[in-house]
Amino acid sequence: MVGNRSKPTLSAVTAETTLVSSRSLSGIVEYEPSEFTFTAMAGTTLNEINDTLRDKRQYMPFDPLLADHNATIGGTLAAGISGPGRHRYGGVRDFVLGAQFVAGDGQLIQSGGKVVKNAAGFDIPKLLVGSCGRFGAITQLTFKVFPRPQGIQTYQVRCSDHAMAATVIAAAARGRWELDAIDYSAKTRMVWLRISGAAEISQAIADDMQRVGVADSLTRVDSDQAALIWQQLGSFEFGPELDCVAKVPTTLRQMIGLADWCDTSKHAAVLHNSVAGAISWIALSQHDLDDFDTYLRETEVTGQLMRGPRAPDGRLVIGNRGINHIESAIKHAMDPVGRFPIFER
Amino acid sequence: MNTPTADLQSLCHRLPPGRFHADAAYQAAFESDGLTAFRQRPLGVVIPECEQEVIEVIRWCYEQSVPFVARGSGTSLSGGSMPVADGIVISLNRLNKIIHVDPDNRIAVVQPGVINLHVSAAAARHGLYYAPDPSSQKICTIGGNIAFNSGGAHCLKYGMTSNHVIGMRVVTATGEIVNLGGPTLESIGPDGTGLFCGSEGLFGVALEITLRLLPKPECFHTVLVGYRSLRAAGDAVSAVIDSGLLPGAMEIMESLAIQAAEAATACGYPDGAAAVLIVELEGPREKIAAEQQQLDAVIAATDAFETVVAADDQQRAAIWAGRKSAFSAVGKLSPDFLVQDGVVPRKRLGEALERIEKLSLASGLRVANVFHAGDGNLHPLILFDDSIAGQLQQAEALAGKILMMCVEMGGSITGEHGVGIEKRDYLPEMYDVSTIELMHRLRAAFDPKTIANPGKMFPGADAPALLTHGLHPLEKAGVISRE
Ligand SMILES: Cc1cc2nc3c(=O)[nH]c(=O)nc-3n(C[C@H](O)[C@H](O)[C@H](O)COP(=O)(O)OP(=O)(O)OC[C@H]3O[C@@H](n4cnc5c(N)ncnc54)[C@H](O)[C@@H]3O)c2cc1C
């Protein structure tokens, strides 16, 4: 099952596999602003959803990526990727409430619910997050949404090295300020902080962060430049000349290691870290893939390519494999007849 | 299932002395949980001291096909941790280490028997806390919270337990060790951690859990508002939501609950109110200063007859004391009660409450309503007297009607207490046959022999005998209260 193929590596399958597109399964089925919920067909583009929510001053706080590339809501959930806003309220996994999909045996499954709170039965919608279409054909999804902040300002902190960036990130994330996003561009050594609220409130918060020593100087980024910064990540263009993009979940220490690896990589790989250290997005040349895979294995870190060729051995993940038996047992439960490709670790 | 004594001996051989107990005192101590109505004596109780002992017990159970029930503090309100006949209870309270707190990455790694509130206590010196706050948090364990995907008063903004669990090591019901998620917020591949949360002990036992911590909110702005009608209180909730604010908590109590709470705690709730609404904003002082003006304006435009703004921490605590005591206070109005946990779409709250009132009148039993208004999670308390013949059945019938109403309105049979034994017959009201079949298949992936907490969540198994209803023994003792 594929959407608009904005994360092509995930839908690159062998020739004998038939691709089914969700393109015509498009449209918002239900939107209840007062309930903070909407239901959309899997092939609905993020753009359409964002526009509809914006009219009612709401948004998807997990800040989905690749809207500019016509990414669909189904593909976003299946790929399990969230943008910088994940920092404040959580990721796509934290906002999905219900999922309708066709299981491998052709049965239409209605899992989860349509209300913001539901503890009945197993949480199958969450299991679909990151499943990359290997479990079933998602047809419809229900999400929780939140009121949109009144304003958003971006501040930047210039760092001397990656270790300093990690210190700034940790201090910013742990403080009382409730920042909206904390990202780091390793190439420019710049930490970007997004603060929501009216401009004077954001400024007061930034001043306080400076006062207590999170950084010597927090500089406000003008809105055009800020839009460019966030759009570069949002459309995976933070390393424009490079043909691969990988997602690597990291701790702050692993982020530093990856940033160092990028600095010494043969083809100048670029790291954009998002969500206060937690997600490292790496743009790299396919000629660096082998080295990258080796580095991840050595440091016992797992990643996934979103764009570019498959991992050197044709698998979906790169680096540490972390295979466990339960994943194939779950796959068998979801798709007993083996209709969908397997998630090759 | 009849297990010969020799087999139990083989279990004892696999454990250090003093871990396994089969005497009547232990059997009785573990025979029920927070849903005191259901009781079942287990074959025996194992109280392991370390992870390896838990694994040994489960491997033994798997080899011998003996059912087991993992147990935290036994505060489940749906019979989830009630023992299974001819089965073993694995009590996890001694696996209570906080393994480490990592303030830079804002995570804590804990054992399953750690008490919910202890996580926040350990994180406090770093300015962090663990957000999920069931009212039983002084006593319930992280393992139990995970199994039930427990909630609390702050779910609209912060989500449930599963939104704060990022990884775990579990032993499945086959005795295999599996790692789900990891030390980072996201992982690669399907979200197994998300699936395990809310699995009600049917997959195996969580042995080590990685939790996400948040910075402690700096400021609170807590408002208590009195209304002459429930509908007016419900409308106020919609007005707050429509204003674009995202409060940390929004709770409503209606008159019977208000009177009971007032009698119990002298919390100073508005006299003669048909309903009170508590709204609490939380965040950094710069934001709260602006948002509180916005909230005060929204509330002023509603049909309120009295508004109290907490001036300090003490007043805030008093407002919450009334709310937190509501259940035990209402419980004292009647010899027995049943509490339900259904969810309705927020905009239909007023209608739901009117229908509950009609159902209550028709059945002749009083119902007190206390609920998480922000997310539409009702907690109707059905009051009855078990010494009067037929009242228990009447109460159960009324509870069933309320659950059916929630489903019919597009909601859920449970917002946070889980299905357990109590609501298992209603699961098919929410999911069709193919979806339930898929759930069975998923369960079999973890537990092919159906030995992990059998008889829960899914309809079909024999129902244990109903005995009594009412306060949990710890509530009677005033140790915990419920929301
Ligand atoms: C007074 C009172 C107030 C309450 N308030 C709330 C509330 O506000 N919100 C809310 O959501 N709930 C509430 N509850 C319900 C209850 O406290 C929660 O469901 C809690 O999570 C149960 O934790 P426990 O440690 O007592 O678990 P137990 O009752 O011992 O077990 C619950 C379930 O978890 C399973 N289990 C336990 N440990 C593990 C493990 N390590 N691995 C796998 N499965 C395991 C058990 O098999 C069982 O199915 C309240 C209960 C009481 C009595």
Contact A251 B183 (CB under 8 A): yes
- Nearest chain B residue (CA) to A318: B188
Q: Where are the domains of chain A?
A: 8-147, 152-234, 244-319
pLDDT at site A143: 98
pLDDT at site B1: 46
* B340 and B441 fall within a common domain: no
Whether B57 contacts B66, CB under 8 Å: no
Which CATH code is given to the segment(s) A8-147? 3.30.465.10
* B331 and B468 fall within a common domain: no
CATH for B155: 3.30.465.10
Residues of B in contact with A129 (CB under 8 A): 190-191, 194
- B60 versus A309: the higher-pLDDT residue is B60
Q: Which residue in B188, B438, B457 is closest to A304 by CB distance? A: B188
Can you spell out the DSSP letters for A178-198? --SEEEEETTTTEEEEEEES-
- B320 versus A345: the higher-pLDDT residue is B320
CATH for B63: 3.30.43.10
Q: How many CA atoms lie within 13 A of B436 on its CB side?
A: 15
* B406 and B433 fall within a common domain: no
Contact B187 A302 (CB under 8 A): yes
Across residues B83-90, what is the average pLDDT?
A: 93
pLDDT at site B479: 59
Alpha-carbon gap, residue A91 to A85, rounded angstroms = 8
pLDDT over 90 percentage in chain B: 76
Residues of A in contact with B436 (CB under 8 A): 121
Give the contacts of A330 (CB within 8 A, at least 6 positions apart): A127, A135, B190, B192, B195, B442, B445
Across residues B200-229, what is the average pLDDT?
A: 97
Tell me whether strands A302-307 and B44-46 are parallel, antiparallel or unpaired: unpaired
pLDDT at site B162: 97
Whether B15 contacts B58, CB under 8 Å: no
> How many domains does chain B contain in total?
4
What does the block give as tokens for A188?
Answer: 């420019």
> What pLDDT digit, counting tens, does each position of A253-309 carry?
999 999 999 999 999 999 999 999 999 999 999 999 999 999 999 999 999 999 988
Determine, yes or no, domain membership for B10.
yes
Alpha-carbon gap, residue B140 to B73, rounded angstroms = 5
Give the contacts of A222 (CB within 8 A, at least 6 positions apart): none
- B26 versus A293: the higher-pLDDT residue is A293
Residue nearest to atom 9 of ligand 1 (CA): B134
- B463 versus A300: the higher-pLDDT residue is A300
A8-147 shares its CATH topology with A152-234: no
Q: What is the whole-number distance in angstroms between the Cα of residue B73 and the centre of ligand 1?
A: 7
pLDDT at site B471: 63
Domain boundary among B193, B216, B239: B216
Domain boundary among B57, B73, B91: B91
pLDDT at site B386: 87
Domain boundary among B399, B417, B435: B417
Pick the atom of ligand 1 nearest to B70's CA.
Answer: 47
What global pTM score does this model have?
0.95
* B212 and B309 fall within a common domain: no
Contact B346 A35 (CB under 8 A): yes
Determine, yes or no, domain membership for B481.
no
Determine, yes or no, domain membership for B482.
no
Lowest model confidence (mean pLDDT) among A79-88, A170-179, B336-345? B336-345
Whether A248 contacts A302, CB under 8 Å: yes
* B405 and B327 fall within a common domain: yes
Domain of residue B382 covers 219-417
| CA neighbor of A10 nearest in space, from A325, A338, A309, A335 | A309
pLDDT over 90 percentage in chain A: 86
User: Which burial class, exposed, middle or buried, applies to A323 when counting CB atoms under 10 A from its CB (0-12, 13-18, 19+)?
Assistant: exposed
Work out the mean pLDDT of chain B and round it to a whole number: 91
Per-residue HEC secondary structure of B262-278 comes to HHHHCCCCCCCCCEEEE
Across residues B325-354, what is the average pLDDT?
A: 88
pLDDT at site A116: 92
* B244 and B361 fall within a common domain: yes
pLDDT at site A114: 93
With a 6 A CB cut-off, is B323 part of the ligand 1 pocket? no
Whether A344 contacts A312, CB under 8 Å: no
pLDDT exceeds 50 at position B463: no
* B283 and B309 fall within a common domain: yes
pLDDT at site A264: 97
* B116 and B151 fall within a common domain: yes
Pick the atom of ligand 1 nearest to B420's CA.
Answer: 49
Whether B141 contacts B130, CB under 8 Å: no
* B225 and B347 fall within a common domain: yes
Class in CATH terms, A152-234: alpha beta
* B165 and B287 fall within a common domain: no
Give B386 to chain A, closest Cα distance, Å.
Answer: 28
Supply the DSSP symbol for B462. Answer: P
CATH for B277: 3.40.462.10
* Three-state SS at A331: helix
pLDDT at site A226: 96
Contact A148 B347 (CB under 8 A): no
Contact A176 B410 (CB under 8 A): no
> What pLDDT digit, counting tens, does each position of B179-193 carry?
999 999 999 999 999
| CA neighbor of B246 nearest in space, from B149, B372, B377, B158 | B158
* B26 and B144 fall within a common domain: no
* B157 and B182 fall within a common domain: yes
Alpha-carbon gap, residue A134 to A1, rounded angstroms = 9
Whether A44 contacts A73, CB under 8 Å: yes
Residues of B in contact with A174 (CB under 8 A): 103-104, 106, 126-128, 215
What does the block give as tokens for A39?
Answer: 């239901």
Whether B121 contacts B132, CB under 8 Å: no
Which CATH code is given to the segment(s) A244-319? 3.30.70
